[in-house]
C-alpha cells in the first residue's frame, strides 16, 4: 500500500473548516478522465474507469459525453440562510441536486434536510466531523463515515450511498475504507471560489464563468453558503438548458 495522498482542489479544505463545508455529486457510470496526481507521482490524467473498478469511486466526469448531463451538487457545512432559496429555485426549475452533509449540518438543520429528501434530492455523506480521511487510521475513518451514515439513517430513514472526501483528500487506504463501508466515492469536475462569504463573486461574472465552463458529464461543486449561488442559480439552470444540457 503506497502512502500517497491526493487533494482534488487546493484551497477547498481551508474553506470547509471555516465553518463552511465543502464539495458535491453523481451518476450511475464513470466514463472520462480526471486531472490529478497519479499513484506514480506524475501529473497526468487518471482513468476514471480503472478507479471505479478498483475502489468503486467516480472520477471527474460522471456520465458519458454523449448524455450532456450536468449534475448540481452542494456542500452543506453550516447554514448561512440561502439553502431554502436554493431549494425554492430547484423546485421552480424542476431540477434536483446532491447535498453533501456534515454531521453538524445533519443535526442542526433538520427541517432543511427533511425538505431535501421530500423534494427528491440526494443526500451525500461528507463526514461526521469533516476530517481528512488519509490522516485517520482505518478504524477512525470508518467511524467518521458510519457514525454520520447511522445518524442520518436513524433520524431521517435515509440510506446514503455517496461519499465526498473532505478537502478532496484521499489515499488508497481511505478509498478502500469508503468502499468497505458500502459507499461510492464522488469527486467533481468543476468548482469555483464561492465559499468565502466575505468576498462573494460578482453574480454576473460568476454566471458567465459557470456557463463558459459547462461540459457534458459535468459534476458541478457549489456551496450553499454563497449568496451569489442563491442569486444566480435559476439563471444558471436556464442558461445550461439553453446550451442543450440536461440539469
Closest CA to 84 of 124, 115, 118: 115
Q: Which of 75, 104, 126, 130 is catalytic?
A: 75
Distance of CA 121 to the CA centre of its chain: 13
Cell numbers placing 115: 425538505
Instruction: Quickly count: other Cβ atoms within 10 Å of residue 122's Cβ.
Output: 20
Phi, psi of 6 (to 5 degrees): -120, 130
Cell numbers placing 35: 486531472
Cell numbers placing 77: 457545512
Is 223 an annotated catalytic residue?
yes
Q: Phi-psi region for residue 217, left (φ > 0), alpha (ψ -120 to 50) or beta? A: left
Is 190 an annotated catalytic residue?
no
Phi, psi of 8 (to 5 degrees): -60, -40
Phi, psi of 184 (to 5 degrees): -95, 140
Closest CA to 61 of 170, 188, 164: 188
Counted residue by residue, the chain has a size of 247
Closest CA to 80 of 195, 234, 224: 224
Burial level of 28, CB count in 10 A (0-12/13-18/19+)?
Answer: exposed
Q: Which residues are catalytic?
A: 75, 223
Amino acid at each position: 500500500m503506497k502512502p500517497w495522498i491526493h487533494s482534488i482542489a487546493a484551497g477547498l479544505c481551508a474553506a470547509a473548516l471555516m465553518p463552511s463545508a465543502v464539495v458535491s455529486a453523481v451518476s450511475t457510470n464513470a466514463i472520462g478522465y480526471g486531472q490529478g496526481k497519479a499513484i506514480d507521482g506524475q501529473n497526468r490524467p487518471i482513468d476514471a474507469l480503472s478507479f471505479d473498478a478498483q475502489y468503486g469511486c467516480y472520477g471527474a466526469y460522471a456520465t458519458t459525453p454523449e448524455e450532456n448531463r450536468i449534475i448540481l451538487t452542494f456542500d452543506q457545512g453550516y447554514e448561512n440562510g440561502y439553502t431554502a432559496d436554493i431549494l425554492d429555485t430547484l423546485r421552480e426549475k424542476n431540477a434536483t441536486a446532491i447535498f453533501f452533509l456534515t454531521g453538524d449540518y445533519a443535526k442542526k438543520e433538520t427541517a432543511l434536510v427533511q425538505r431535501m429528501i421530500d423534494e427528491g434530492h440526494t443526500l451525500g455523506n461528507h463526514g461526521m466531523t469533516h476530517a481528512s480521511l488519509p490522516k485517520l487510521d482505518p478504524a477512525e475513518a470508518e467511524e467518521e463515515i458510519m457514525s454520520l451514515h447511522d445518524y442520518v439513517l436513524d433520524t431521517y430513514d435515509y440510506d446514503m450511498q455517496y461519499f465526498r472526501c473532505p478537502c478532496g483528500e484521499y489515499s488508497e487506504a481511505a478509498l478502500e475504507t469508503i468502499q468497505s463501508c458500502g459507499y461510492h466515492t464522488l469527486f467533481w469536475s468543476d468548482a469555483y471560489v464561492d465559499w468565502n462569504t466575505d468576498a462573494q463573486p460578482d453574480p454576473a461574472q460568476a454566471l458567465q464563468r459557470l456557463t463558459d465552463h459547462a461540459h457534458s458529464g459535468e459534476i458541478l461543486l457549489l456551496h450553499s453558503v454563497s449568496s451569489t449561488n442563491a442569486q444566480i442559480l435559476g439563471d444558471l439552470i436556464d442558461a445550461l438548458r439553453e446550451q442543450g444540457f440536461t440539469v
